[in-house]
Amino acid sequence: MRPPALPPPRGSLSWLLQLAYTTWRLFSQNGLTNHAAATAFYFLLSATPLLLLLSYAMQLLGRIAENSVPATILMAALYDQLQLESLTALGFIPQQTRLAAGGVGLVTLLLSSRGLVNAVHGAFKIIFPEQTRRNVVVSWVLPFIILPVLFLLMGLAALAQTILSFLAQNDFIGTGNAQVLQALNSLFGFAMVWALLFAAYWRLPRQHPRARDAAVFALAATVSLALLLVLFGAFFKLENYHSLYGALGGVVFVLIGGYFAFLLLYLWAQALYAYGKADVTALEKLFLGGSGEGASKLEGYVFGDTHRLLEKYGQVHPTGHVLIEEGDDSKTAYFLYAGRAGVYKNSDSGRRRLGELGEGQLFGEMAYLLNETRTASVVADGEITVLALPPAILEELMRHSAPLSRRIIDTLCQRLERMNLANPG
């Protein structure tokens, strides 16, 4: 005997499960793990010339430190907090650099910047499907600007945090003052990352989501990245990768860290898109019903609670209520959730009944799809509960769901065939 199905979750839990399920399904279908790997690769290419520039900066700072006490303190702080000696020993930072290599590094930085930004943009085009193409000038110029500026701001924040940590350890400004300044600097870095993610989540999609929604999901992504950074520092050590992979250990370390970071970035972007499509996805599952096996059972559990949809789109009408009037120019479509209704056609001899509609049927969409007036009337046989769908929701449903579009087209063909048989002349 088959065990009874679990009752669907209710309220906020139901909505959260629907959002999580839709996010993960779209994330998997869009192949965003591959996009995260590609983006991490370009990030690695961008980080390599930056380390070369860091080497130049350290050499310049060393020359200045010969005659400057603050520069000496700064250099000591960088070596102590960033473990530059270890990075140099591991091969991350070259001991000697040349101008020619520096020029190549700058060219590599610019080209990898464009590759990184385009990789992110390509992933966002899949997460947020768009129909129009971007300006060619912007697509070429923006990548050469945004990444160097981003790394500069992040470098300044990291530099300030490093100096403050060094000064606190050596009791130059007092432990209490240093801790306050470190907290403020960390808050500044957090806000900077949040602002960057907010700008990406809000402005990169061609159809911009609401600023409030983008801000919330950017905050969630920033918190996730901060937790990832903490976990990476606790469980992943650069020395371990160096001992395991040899000279390539540092490359593997940076690549893995970038991969997980971009996975989180794309996952929360996909969640933002799923949040904007929450009603459309739930309506699609309701209209298509629980057909299929395997995953459909899980969908039946996740999308089994229709309370939210009924509150937002539901209407209850008494017996005899005329839901659709023949000849009317309204475009609203309906889904018959409960009850039965009759379909009537006006004729010279009066109104005659053509058929009836039962629970689970979508109707009234022909007026919108064909841009015509109503071809028949729909009257409630008893008390009925319907979901009223404005044209914008119907259009979004058909764009979002190919199976539902095919079902609607098939229904339209059947209705047109019945109308032709009923009116052969």
Q: What percent of the chain has pLDDT over 70?
A: 61
* Three-state secondary structure call for residue 67: coil
Tell which wins on pLDDT, 176 or 208: 208
The confidence score (pLDDT) of residue 246 equals 59
Q: Has residue 167 got a pLDDT over 80?
A: no
Contact 377, 345 (CB under 8 A): yes
User: What does the alpha-carbon distance between residue 216 and residue 201 come to, in Å, rounded to a whole number?
Assistant: 10
From the CB of residue 119, how many other CB atoms can be counted at a distance below 10 Å?
21
pLDDT of residue 3: 39
Residue 179, sorted as left (phi over 0), alpha (psi -120 to 50) or beta, turns out to be alpha
Q: Is the pLDDT of residue 292 over 60?
A: no
**Residues whose CB is less than 8 angstroms from the CB of residue 37 and which lie 6 or more positions away in sequence, other chains included:** 259
What are the chain's domains?
A: 13-276 (no CATH), 307-422 (2.60.120.10)
Residue 379 phi, psi dihedral angles, 5° rounding: -125, 135
Q: What is the pLDDT of residue 403?
A: 84
| Contact between 54 and 79 (Cβ < 8 Å) | no
Cα gap 159→54, rounded to integer Å: 12
Query: Range with the lowest mean pLDDT among 113-127, 292-306, 345-359?
Result: 292-306
Question: For residue 231, how many C-alpha atoms fall within 13 Å in the half-sphere facing its CB?
Answer: 10
Rounded CA-CA distance 329/373 in Å is: 5
Choose the weakest-confidence range: 15-19, 196-200, 209-213, 398-402.
398-402
Asked if residues 141 and 187 have their Cβ atoms less than 8 Å apart, the reply is no
d(CA 48, CA 62): 21
Give the tens place of pLDDT for each residue, 359-386.
988 888 888 888 888 888 999 999 999 9
Candidates 395, 358, 392, 360; CA nearest to 378 is 358
Q: Is 290 helix (H, G, I), strand (E, B) or coil?
A: coil
Mean pLDDT for the chain overall: 76
Identify the sign of the CA torsion 141, 144, 146, 152: negative
Does the pLDDT at position 329 exceed 60? Answer: yes
Residue 247 DSSP code:
G
Pairing of strands 384-389, 333-338: antiparallel
Confidence of residue 297 (pLDDT cuts 50, 70, 90): confident
Whole-model pTM? Answer: 0.73
CA dist., res. 25 & res. 240, Å (int): 35
Residue of 5, 11, 23 lying closest to 305 (CA atoms): 11
Of the pLDDT bands very low, low, confident and very high (cuts 50, 70, 90), residue 5 is very low
- Asked if 88 contacts 95 with a C-beta cutoff of 8 angstroms, the reply is yes
What's the CA gap between 394 and 362, in Å, rounded? 11
Across residues 294-300, what is the average pLDDT? 65
Helix (H, G, I), strand (E, B) or coil at 349: coil
Of residues 72 and 398, the one with the higher pLDDT is 398
Highest mean pLDDT, choosing among 19-33, 44-58, 392-406: 19-33
Angle at which helices 249-276 and 175-203 cross, to 10°: 60
Helix (H, G, I), strand (E, B) or coil at 352: strand
Lowest mean pLDDT among 239-243, 290-294, 320-324: 290-294
Check pLDDT > 80 for residue 141: no
Mean pLDDT of 262-284: 91
Q: Which two tokens stand for residue 300?
A: 């039946």
pLDDT at 282: 87
